[in-house]
Chain A
Amino acid sequence: AQKITQTQPGMFVQEKEAVTLDCTYDTSDQSYGLFWYKQPSSGEMIFLIYQGSYDEQNATEGRYSLNFQKARKSANLVISASQLGDSAMYFCAMRDFAGGSQGNLIFGKGTKLSVKP
């Protein structure tokens, strides 16, 4: 069955430092996509970065990069040079077509990141 696991309920990081948010996934499909979203205290869901299962290079978007280790089924988000505005909930998500799914998008439970000045 599809599953996304985020093992860190909360994380602290000092401003300007880098931080890694962990995400592991489980799927029987060979073709899948991995996503990270940010949810600030205002509540909206903001897309950050995407990694396809066949992408050979790790995805990067500005200060965000995705450390994709396919054999370990992990897709960790790395935020470089943390800013106070990075304080938010972060969700890892996966879309695949395993088990007859038509491509539903499932989420982990999230990690609350707090950036300290």
Chain B
Amino acid sequence: NAGVTQTPKFQVLKTGQSMTLQCAQDMNHNSMYWYRQDPGMGLRLIYYSASEGTTDKGEVPNGYNVSRLNKREFSLRLESAAPSQTSVYFCASSEQDFEAFFGQGTRLTVV
């Protein structure tokens, strides 16, 4: 039972490069989320998707785009990476009234 799978686990980008973080869940959840975690800031919501075909901005969406490809997959794209996007990124999924399950995180460094 894989739960929530994120790839890659680690990534180093140069400023201006683009990349896509992949996330897939096998629990048939409707809701999926992308967070970034920075020291002293907790987890801040970037985007979320309440169901297949819908996405909505969270607290810190600037510089990111998302795609809810299907019910299982929710990807996060950085079109032009900046050093301020150096962070640990978490994907999560949940059913509406229940706890969210998290991936293992992606540690991204932008140089």
Interface status of A50 (Cβ within 8 A of chain B): yes
Within 8 A of B (CB), among A63-117: 91, 93, 95, 101-110
Q: Which residues of A are found within 8 Å of B41, using beta-carbon distances?
A: 109
B90 with A45: CB separation less than 8 A: yes
B48 with A104: CB separation less than 8 A: yes
Give the interface size class of chain B: 20 to 34
Q: How far is the CA of A48 from the CA of B43 in the complex (A)?
A: 16
With both chains docked as a complex, state the minimum distance between the C-beta of A22 and any C-beta of chain B, in angstroms.
14
Interface status of A44 (Cβ within 8 A of chain B): yes
Chain A residue with Cβ nearest B105: A43
Q: Which residues of A are found within 8 Å of B50, using beta-carbon distances?
A: 102-103
Query: Chain A: residues with CB nearer than 8 A to chain B?
Result: 6, 9, 33, 35, 43-45, 47, 50, 52, 91, 93, 95, 101-110
Q: What are 29 A-B residue pairs whose CB atoms fall within 8 Å in the complex?
A: A9-B40, A33-B97, A35-B99, A35-B100, A43-B104, A44-B102, A44-B104, A44-B105, A45-B92, A47-B99, A52-B97, A91-B43, A93-B100, A95-B94, A102-B31, A102-B56, A103-B96, A104-B33, A104-B58, A105-B31, A105-B45, A105-B48, A106-B58, A106-B59, A107-B44, A108-B42, A109-B40, A109-B41, A110-B42
